[in-house]
Chain A
Amino acid sequence: MIEMPVIEQEKCNGCGLCINVCSCKALVLVDNVITVIETEECHWCTLCEAVCHTGAISCLFEIVIEENGG
């Protein structure tokens, strides 16, 4: 399973701004709410999260320490 942005559909107002800004076609409107399509093309630019006025999209980062990176 490919990690993808998290959508809280109840917050989505269907404005479509995220679709406009997404360069990898990972976002589509289904029944007027945003749905994510799993794709390796998504390079986590986080522009969809930045442009969303309602906070419906979250691009979560894991923070890890590399072994022998201390």
Chain B
Amino acid sequence: MPLLNSKEADIILDDMAVQIELLKSISYFSGLSLAELDSIRKLIFEKTVARGEIILFEGEPAKALYFVVSGVVKVFKTSADGKEQILYLIRPGESFNDVSVFGGGLNLASAEAMGPVVLYGIEKSDLEVVLRDYPQLARNLIQVISQRVAHLVSLVEDLSFRHVTSRVAKILLEYAGDQNGSRQRLTQQEMAAMAGTVREMIGRSLKALEEEGTVRLERHRIVITDKEALREMAGVAD
């Protein structure tokens, strides 16, 4: 087997360092030592997907847990008549397909890339080994799943009790970025899929919020002009 020259070795070591740095930013791997992260790194595969590419299909066997390294992934359910309900948007450092993989069954929802996305994944069989060998990871998993449940409870509450305009107000607050527009941009269809309504209602809700003076609609921007009033409409505590 040919020996690597020092330049080739440096490239490999740099790649390993980058991967470990990325793993450290994922909440699942919080509190693990460098040696532990290095062991886990060998079980992780990388996957790049294009905008609109389906990563997982609802109902197929759950084979792997995924982490977003860059980009945004939407996790959603689709009704028999094609209506879509977004459950979460997964951002860098966050995971998806957790419940499906640990539940041992089928994918509970589908996942689609909202732009170019880089993922890390770990196969279900390797995950079982890792959980057994690193108890800290199991503790982190409990925390992640708890947060996931809390989010779903909040979603059920919104869909059951809040008026559409209130749900839209909450979405605007959650997805607002700074003046540089650093957060995920959304179409009206995507906002509708999050709010559990139809596209036309998003337009009406935005108009209503503008009339209330809480937002201003510019060409391709929704500017929140009164954040506190919008919070009140959304029913969100400070």
| Chain A residues proximal to chain B, CB less than 8 Å | 3, 8, 11, 42-44, 46, 49-50, 55, 58-67, 69-70
Contact = CB atoms under 8 A, between A and B. Distances in A.
Given A3-B220, A49-B188, A59-B187, A64 B181 contact: yes
Contacts of B225: 66, 69
Contact of A69 (B183, B189, B221, B227): B227
Contacts, number: 78
27 contacts: A3-B219, A8-B51, A8-B52, A11-B52, A42-B219, A49-B188, A50-B199, A55-B189, A59-B187, A59-B188, A61-B188, A61-B191, A62-B181, A62-B185, A62-B220, A63-B176, A63-B183, A63-B221, A64-B221, A64-B224, A65-B177, A65-B224, A66-B216, A66-B223, A69-B224, A69-B226, A70-B228
Contacts of B177: 62-65
Interface of B: 51-52, 172, 175-179, 181, 183, 185-189, 191, 199, 203, 216, 219-228
A7 to B, nearest CB: 12
Contacts of A64: 176-179, 181, 221-224
Nearest to B180: A64
B199 A61 contact: no
Please provide the 9 A-B residue pairs with the shortest distance between their CB atoms, ordered closest to farther.
Answer: A60-B185, A70-B227, A62-B181, A65-B224, A44-B219, A62-B221, A69-B225, A63-B176, A63-B222
A62 B35 CA distance: 41
A46 B228 CA distance: 28
